[in-house]
Structure formats: structure tokens, C-alpha cells
A = this chain, B = another copy of it.
Amino acid sequence: VKREDRLVEKIRTLAGRAPGLVLGPGDDAAIVSRAAGLLAATTDMLVEGVDFLPGEDPERLGRRAAAVNLSDLAAMGAEPEFFLLSIALPATTSEEVPLEIARGAMARAARHGGALAGGDLSAAPLLVLSIAFWGRPAGDPLTRSGASPGDLVYVSGHPGEAAAGLRLARLIEAFRADGSDASRIPELSAEDQRRLLSAYHDPEPRVELGTFLSRERLATAAIDVSDGLGIDAGRLSRASGVRLTLEKDRLPVSQTLAAFAALEEIDPVELAIGGGDDYELLFTVREADSPRLSDHGHRFGVPLRVIGRVSQGEGAVLADPLGERDIAAIGHDHFETAR
């Protein structure tokens, strides 16, 4: 029995037997039984040194890979069903690494009703993960294209904290390389450090929020904030053929983010606009529906905040008392730069 087959066997044991899964990992394809209706499908690939830091904890990496895909389903208002997990890694890597990755991905998916159906193991000079996840829209699918002039622009959570977490992780890494005590960043409490690192390493996909918005037909458009509030607001504006104006002083800057930004001597808003990796939802709501959303906002364990408004025109801008600034191109282009 080859190493690949032995690993598939172990992953199959981990996966157990999910409802609807007729045939799980270990054959040429997975077989799932499925009722009629819409299917939402997404995929994301994570590459070592580009989308995650070398030496990342494999179980956490698996959770994050699942979360990135779950976030896409959340942005469509879809309930997760099944996923396929591909892992390519150097032949010298311990067998525990792919197992821990699978374990993490399954745990994160299970929390939102998703299960592993199958996957692929392959060799590569560096670690690469790819997940394809599918699910079922809870109501009408949320798309990027339905925003209308007059709608309010909402965002969940605290965009910018993940980007701060990545910078902090690198800072700690540099301290370690220097032989310094990594935990000694006196300007930032241990609790603040944990919060930022966790926002980057272990984002919480907004599946319950997204499916609620879809089921209740509350959002006219939605996108997940994966590359920065700026670039993603630009995408939503372009798909909808409208203009998004975000108000700088309405952006949800947490005390933690403000403390980190002070340490780095940057404007915390820059991290929110251009940071990326947040996996929060940016969505638009008819003003008349806003009270209905407020009634339920507490259910999602995350603040929902009105940060701007939709108008006729094009583009995405950040407004402050001094004027407006184009932000539609500010953020991370996965395809252009390794971070």
C-alpha cells in the first residue's frame, strides 16, 4: 500500500459518514445525494509564502483554508454542503501535516454544516492547498450586482484587524529571528495581540449572517472582504453599476486596531481599506429594510455597521470632511503580488 493510499485511508476514517454522502474519500470521485435546486460552488487555492507564512500550524491552516471558501459561500447566502480538499506538499514533509490540515478544514466546515467529500494528494516543492466547496443558497443567491442608489452600505466585524495580525505575526517572527523575547511588545496587550493574530490566522466566516440575509431577502448585493474594503467595494460598485461612498469616520476601527496602528505609526483606516484577509461581509440594504436588520444584528456575534451609501454613478470612494478619495483599486491583488 502506497503512502498516498495510506493517507487517504486515514483521512477517510477522520471524515466519517456525513448525511447525503453516498461515497466519501477513496474512490475516483465522491458521490453525494442531493435534492433539486440551486448549487453554489466556489474554490480557493492557498500557496505557501504567498497566501500563508511558511511554518504555519497545519491544523490552523486547514481551518483557514476552509474559512476562506466558507466566506465565499456566505457572500452568496449559501448553506455549506460538501468540500473537496487537495493538498500538494514536499515528499519530505511529515504525514501528520496533511492529516492535521484535513482535520482543521473538517472541523471548521462542520461548524457550519459542511463535510469533506473527497480530494487529492500530490507532491510539490512547497505546500499548496486547494478547496472546492459547494452549498445551497438559503433564499435568492446574494450577488455583487444588485445594489441600487439609495441603499445603505454595511460591513460586518472589524476589517483591518487581519492585516494588522499578519504584520504583527511578521514582527514577532523578526523578534524571534533576533533572539529577542517575541512577547515583549509593551504597546500591545497580550489580549490585543491574540485578537489580531487570530483575525489573520483563524478568520470566522460569516455564514450565518450571509444565509440570514439571503433567506430574509435583506441584502440587495454582497461580497466578502478578502482583498481589502477598497478593492472589494470597487468590485461591488462595478458589478452593480453604481457608486459606493464610504464615510471614513463610520469605519469600524476597534481599539485594538487603533493601538496597533499607533505602534506602526499608520492610519488604522489604511489597514481597513487596503489590508485584506478579513473575510467579513460587505453588503447593501434598502434603507427601508435597515430596521429589520437591526432587530436581528445581535444574532451573528459580530457588529454590523452602516459605513456608507449607494448612489448613481461609478466607483468606490472614501469620504471625509476634506473630500473624497478613490479607493476602488486599493487592496491586495492576489494575482499581482506575493505578500
Contact = CB atoms under 8 A, between A and B. Distances in A.
Interface string A65-91: 000000111011010001010101001
Contact of A335 (B2, B38, B45, B78): B2
Contact of A120 (B33, B44, B329): B44
A30 B141 CA distance: 10
A322 interface: no
Interface string A312-339: 0000000000000000010001111110
Contacts of A73: 28-29
Contacts of A134: 41, 134
Interface string A265-297: 000000000000000000000000000000000
A190 interface: no
A141 B23 contact: yes
A41 B82 contact: yes
Contacts of A23: 141, 143
A194 B42 CA distance: 37
Contacts of A50: 88, 122-125
A3 interface: yes
Contacts of A231: 2
B91 A337 contact: yes
B32 A119 contact: no
Given A36-B35, A335-B4, A27 B144 contact: yes
A10 to B, nearest CB: 13
A7 interface: yes
B29 A88 contact: no
Contacts of A334: 4, 121-123
A124 B52 CA distance: 11
A173 to B, nearest CB: 20
Copy total for this chain: 2
A7 B335 contact: yes
B128 A88 contact: yes
Nearest to A339: B123
B29 A40 contact: yes
Nearest to A50: B123
Given A43-B132, A123-B337, A333-B2, A38 B33 contact: yes
A28 B130 contact: no
Contacts of A121: 334-335
Nearest to A121: B335
A239 interface: yes
Nearest to A90: B338
Contact of A88 (B1, B45, B82): B45
A240 to B, nearest CB: 11
The list of the 3 closest CB pairs from A to B, nearest first, reads A132-B132, A29-B42, A4-B335
Given A22-B141, A33-B38, 16 more contacts: A2-B329, A5-B238, A28-B72, A29-B42, A29-B75, A30-B40, A31-B38, A31-B39, A34-B36, A34-B39, A42-B118, A45-B122, A50-B88, A51-B122, A91-B335, A91-B337
